[in-house]
Amino acid sequence: MDKIIVRGGRRLSGTVKVEGAKNAVLPVIAASLLASEGKSYIYDVPSLADVYTINEVLRLLNTEVIFNDNMIQVDASKPLLTEAPFEYVRKMRASVLVMGPLLARVGHARVALPGGCAIGSRPIDQHLKGFEAMGASVVVGNGFLEAKVEGRLRGAKIYLDFPSVGATENIMMAAVLAEGTTTIENVAKEPEIVDLANYLNAMGAKVRGAGTGTIRIDGVEKLVGAHHTIIPDRIEAGTFMIAAAITQGDVIVKGAVPEHLTALIAKMEEMGVRFEEVKDGIRVIGPERLKAIDLKTMPYPGFPTDMQSQMMALQLRAEGTSMITETVFENRYMHVEEFRRMNSDIKIEGRSAIINGPANLQGAEVSATDLRAAAALILAGLVAEGYTRVVELKHLDRGYYNFTEKLAGLGAEIERINEDTITKSSNIINVRSNLA
């Protein structure tokens, strides 16, 4: 079992480069299923467990996928198969994003029901409502969702009850090959939606309005492979911004796009963190003392739920009482119990977390409860007294590439070890293993 060991106390400095965005590349790879002719070439693809999972799903659907040097080549020109099994959907919910493209291209998709997960129940009713409005019939049985349509999907007017990122993407991908025009209202406005629309348009689709509250899609007869570069990962960038701030460091986060990070930068500035726009990135300077603040997670351009747990680590170090209200997922506070093990004072009241700072964080053995919680615990470990040991790294590997190496490159005292091989390793690691 892998474990990350971090010893608190180092100020981070230097430059760190972010990867292409996980949440942009997954729908883009799924959208490649729509190209009945030609190959797609996707650049700046991060080497993440989730990318390997979606590639496997595409291969199961009879698509050729080659992943080399941050570039993916997809050939979806052969007849497609239509079933995504539970084994993959369980590992990664974004596997449901193959449903829209399959329905659009072959009129049939059978995808295992995703089930619950650590951050909430996460239904997909809004995706299905969109498919049904376009003429598909949807049945649920034996742990699968099955959607079918005779002939082509038909353009429709669809209103989302909540601006769901996944539903916006799945419905967009279904609508690009539908007959007629589809209008989707109250859609998600995330930069990843805009990235997907740009890719679909490069494939020959007619998508307008991505990044606003209404998307209009004129269906076309066919799509072809295209070249596309993935946008930088704003959540990875934000995580390193907090690493700089929490350690009173001075770090350039290369690749960070300030316009994608407006809410996070504003809240960190309120806490006393300084930012400078530099060539290709953002410089972050952590203050000696952090001020307490309140925040609420919201759909983009609001404060991202995917930065909530990392921000909580920063708020733990602020002087005074801070509050977080999580409005996107009903159960995204699993990390609070782990933070408590590190000597922090946090109360949960309904959807809010009340954080009394500054915490005198102490190193402890903690378990990552989801992807962003894994990063947040490591961030807290950067300023905790002594050693923090983080387990359940499968969550971290879903979304952060070389996280340990990147933090070590900024001067953090951090190491990833494999307990099974530890006895054969160097003295330093053996010393650490006594602590582990």
Ligand X SMILES: CC(=O)N[C@H]1[C@@H](OP(=O)(O)OP(=O)(O)OC[C@H]2O[C@@H](n3ccc(=O)[nH]c3=O)[C@H](O)[C@@H]2O)O[C@H](CO)[C@@H](O)[C@@H]1O
Ligand Y SMILES: C=C(OP(=O)(O)O)C(=O)O
Q: Nearest distance from residue 371's CB to ligand Y, in Å? A: 5
Q: Which is nearer to ligand Y, 101 or 399 (CB)?
A: 399
CB of 343 within 8 A of CB of 359? yes
Which pair of structure tokens corresponds to residue 280?
Answer: 């290709």
Is residue 162 at the binding interface for ligand X, with CB under 6 A as the rule? Answer: yes
Is 115 a residue that touches ligand X (CB under 6 A)? no
Q: Using CB under 6 A as the criterion, what x/- string covers residues 113-142 for binding ligand Y?
A: ------------------------------
* Shortest separation between residue 188's beta carbon and ligand X, angstroms: 6
Q: How many helices (DSSP H) and strands (DSSP E) are in the chain?
A: 15, 27
Binding mask 7-26 for ligand X (x = CB under 6 A): ----------------x--x
Other CB atoms within a 10 A radius of the CB of residue 202 amount to: 15
Taking CB under 6 A as the criterion, the residue among 3, 105, 228, 372 binding ligand Y is 372
**Is 90 a binder of ligand Y (CB under 6 A)?**
no
- From the CB of 125, what's the least distance to ligand X, in Å? 5
Looking at residues 6 to 35 of the shown chain, list those that interact with ligand Y (rule: CB under 6 A): 23
261 binds ligand X (CB under 6 A): no
Beta-carbon contacts of residue 62 (< 8 Å; ≥ 6 apart): 78, 79, 80, 81
Stretch 300-339: interaction string toward ligand X, x if CB under 6 A: -----xx---------------------xx----------
> For ligand X, which is the closer residue by CB, 48 or 94?
94
Q: Which of left, alpha, beta for 343 (phi over 0: left; psi -120 to 50: alpha)?
A: left
Distances (CA, A) of 25 to 55, 94, 233: 11, 11, 10
- When binding is defined by CB under 6 A, the residue of 126, 315, 369, 388 that contacts ligand X is 126
Half-sphere exposure of 127 (CA within 13 A, CB side): 28
22 is in an annotated binding site: yes
Residue-level length of the chain:
436
**Residue among 37, 59, 78, 117 flagged as catalytic:** 117
Q: Which is nearer to ligand Y, 160 or 364 (CB)?
A: 160
34 in catalytic set: no
Q: Which is nearer to ligand Y, 89 or 346 (CB)?
A: 89
Site for ligand Y in 290-319 (CB under 6 A): 306
The entry of ligand X, ligand Y, none that residue 123 binds, CB within 5 to 8 Å by partner kind: ligand X
Looking up tokens 């390997």 gives: 52
Rounded CA-CA distance 219/163 in Å is 22
Beta strand residue intervals within 260-412, DSSP E: 274-278, 281-285, 290-291, 294-297, 318-326, 345-349, 352-357, 365-367, 387-391
d(CA 342, CA 346): 11
Q: Which residues are annotated as a binding site for UDP-N-acetyl-alpha-D-glucosamine?
A: 93, 122-126, 306, 328
Report, as residue numbers or ranges, the catalytic residues.
117
